[in-house]
Structure 1
Amino acid sequence: MHTPRLATRIPPWLAHVLRAQPGPIPWNAVLRGALAALPLLVSVLAGQPTAGVPAALGAMLAGINDRPGSRRAAVTRLGVPALAGAAGLLLGTVVASAVGEGRSLVVLPLVFGLLGLVAGAVSSTGPVASACGTQVMVAVVIGAGMPLPEPGPVRALLFLAGAGWLLLLRLLLPSEARTGGGPYRLDGERQAVAAVYEAVARLLRATGGPHARAERAALSAALDQAQDALAGPRLRRYASSGAERRLHARYAAAFPLAEAATALAWAGDPLPARIAEGPARLAAAVRTGEPCGVLPAPARTDAGLRALDDALLRAASVFDRPPGVPLRTRGKRASASAPRRAWSAAGREYGLRVALCCATSTVLAQWLHHHHWYWLPATTVFLVKPDLGPLASRVMCRAVGTVVGAAGFGVLALAAPGPWPLFAAVVLSGALLPVATRHFAVQTAVVTVLVLSLVMLGGEPAASGSRVVESLLACATVLLVGHLPLPGRRGHHVRAALDTAVGAAHRYVGHVLHGPDDDAERGALRREAYRSLAAARAAVDLSAAELPPVARHSAGSDGVTAALERLIDTTTACAVQLVHPSAELPPSHAELLATHLAELDRACAAPAR
Structure 2
Amino acid sequence: MLRGALASLPLLVAVAAERPASGVPAALGAMLAGINDRPGGRRAAVARLGAPALAGGAGLLFGSLLAAAAGPGRSLLLLPLVFGVLGLAAGAVSSTGPVASACGTQVLVAAVIGAGMPSSDPGPVRALLFLAGAGWLLLIRLVLPSPGRRGTGPFRLDGEREAVAAVYEAVARLLLAAGGPGALGARSALSAALDRAQDALSGPWLRRHASSAAERRLRARYAAAFPLAEAATALAWAGVPLPDRVVEGPRRLADAVRAGGPCGALPAPARTDAGLRALDDALLGAAAVFDRPSGVIRRPHRTPGHISLPAGAVSAAGREYGLRVAVCCAASTFVAQWLHHTHWYWLPATTVFLVKPDLGPLASRVLCRAAGTVAGAAVFAVLVLLPAGGVLPAGAVVLCGALLPVATRHFAVQTAVVTVLVLSLVVLGGEPSATWGRVVESLLACATVLLVGHLPLPGRRGHRVRAALDAAVAAAHRYLGHVLDAPGDGTGRGELRRDAYRSLAAARTAIEVSAAELPAVARHSAGAEGVACAVERLVDTTTACAVQLDHRSAQLPASHAERLAAQLSDLDRARAAARLAVPAG
SS at match of 1:578: helix
1:453 is matched with which residue? 424
CA distance in 1, matches of 2:477, 2:161: 33
Note the C-alpha offset of 1:331.
Answer: 2.1
Match for residue 520 of structure 2 among 529, 549, 569: 549
When structure 1 is superposed on structure 2, of 594-603 and 328-337 the one drifting more is: 328-337
Aligned residues: 580
Q: Tell whether the 8 Å contact from 1:544 to 1:551 is kept in structure 2 after alignment.
A: yes
CA distance in 2, matches of 1:298, 1:237: 39
1:7 is matched with which residue? none
The amino acid that maps onto 2:563 is L
Note the C-alpha offset of 1:246.
Answer: 1.0
1:231 is matched with which residue? 202
CA change 1:584–1:598 in 2 (3 A) is: same
Note the C-alpha offset of 1:176.
Answer: 3.7
Match for residue 588 of structure 1 among 540, 559, 572: 559
The amino acid that maps onto 1:162 is G
1:6 is matched with which residue? none
1:300 is matched with which residue? 271
CA distance in 1, matches of 2:308, 2:488: 22
1:503 is matched with which residue? 474
SS at match of 1:324: helix
Whether 2:229 is the aligned partner of 1:258: answer yes
Whether 2:335 is the aligned partner of 1:364: answer yes
Note the C-alpha offset of 1:516.
Answer: 5.3
2:395 is matched with which residue? 424
1:181 is matched with which residue? 152
Note the C-alpha offset of 1:290.
Answer: 2.3
2:108 is matched with which residue? 137
The amino acid that maps onto 1:282 is L
The amino acid that maps onto 1:55 is A
Match for residue 375 of structure 1 among 327, 340, 346: 346
| Deviations 1:60-110 (CA, angstroms, capped at 9, x unpaired) | 000000001100000000000000000000000010010102630000000
Gaps of 5+ in 2: 581-585
CA distance in 2, matches of 1:312, 1:114: 55
The amino acid that maps onto 1:464 is T
CA change 1:250–1:446 in 2 (3 A) is: same
1:519 is matched with which residue? 490
SS at match of 1:352: helix
Matched ranges for 1:568-607 at <5 A: 568-580=539-551, 582-607=553-578
1:79 is matched with which residue? 50
When structure 1 is superposed on structure 2, of 545-554 and 598-607 the one drifting more is: 598-607
Note the C-alpha offset of 1:377.
Answer: 0.3
Q: Tell whether the 8 Å contact from 2:274 to 2:551 is kept in structure 1 after alignment.
A: no
The amino acid that maps onto 2:565 is A
Query: Taking structure 2 as the reference length, what is the TM-score of the superposition?
Result: 0.97
CA distance in 1, matches of 2:305, 2:188: 22
Matched ranges for 1:139-538 at <5 A: 139-238=110-209, 241-334=212-305, 337-338=308-309, 344-515=315-486, 517-538=488-509
CA distance in 1, matches of 2:551, 2:249: 23
CA distance in 1, matches of 2:26, 2:556: 62
Q: Tell whether the 8 Å contact from 1:96 to 1:103 is kept in structure 2 after alignment.
A: no
Note the C-alpha offset of 1:413.
Answer: 0.7
Q: Tell whether the 8 Å contact from 2:487 to 2:550 is kept in structure 1 after alignment.
A: no
CA distance in 1, matches of 2:457, 2:95: 18
The amino acid that maps onto 1:558 is E
CA change 1:456–1:199 in 2 (3 A) is: same
When structure 1 is superposed on structure 2, of 572-581 and 121-130 the one drifting more is: 572-581
| Deviations 1:113-157 (CA, angstroms, capped at 9, x unpaired) | 000000000000000000000000100000000011110000000
1:48 is matched with which residue? 19
CA change 1:343–1:594 in 2 (3 A) is: closer
CA distance in 2, matches of 1:222, 1:517: 26
CA distance in 2, matches of 1:130, 1:451: 22
CA distance in 1, matches of 2:501, 2:307: 13
When structure 1 is superposed on structure 2, of 87-96 and 290-299 the one drifting more is: 290-299
CA distance in 2, matches of 1:55, 1:212: 48
CA distance in 2, matches of 1:135, 1:501: 29
1:33 is matched with which residue? 4
The amino acid that maps onto 2:343 is H
CA distance in 1, matches of 2:225, 2:426: 51
CA change 1:362–1:569 in 2 (3 A) is: same
Q: Tell whether the 8 Å contact from 2:145 to 2:156 is kept in structure 1 after alignment.
A: no
CA distance in 2, matches of 1:463, 1:450: 13
Q: Tell whether the 8 Å contact from 1:517 to 1:581 is kept in structure 2 after alignment.
A: no
The amino acid that maps onto 1:461 is P
| Deviations 1:535-573 (CA, angstroms, capped at 9, x unpaired) | 000000000000111100001100011001100000000
CA distance in 2, matches of 1:89, 1:577: 57
SS at match of 2:294: coil
Note the C-alpha offset of 1:340.
Answer: 5.2
The amino acid that maps onto 2:155 is Y
CA distance in 1, matches of 2:523, 2:313: 25
The amino acid that maps onto 1:48 is R
CA change 1:600–1:176 in 2 (3 A) is: farther
1:9 is matched with which residue? none
SS at match of 2:385: helix
Q: Tell whether the 8 Å contact from 1:124 to 1:342 is kept in structure 2 after alignment.
A: no
CA distance in 2, matches of 1:130, 1:372: 25
Q: Tell whether the 8 Å contact from 1:401 to 1:441 is kept in structure 2 after alignment.
A: yes
The amino acid that maps onto 1:117 is L
Note the C-alpha offset of 1:490.
Answer: 0.4
Root mean square deviation of aligned Cα:
1.3
SS at match of 1:396: helix
| Deviations 1:490-532 (CA, angstroms, capped at 9, x unpaired) | 0000000000000000000000111252110000000000000
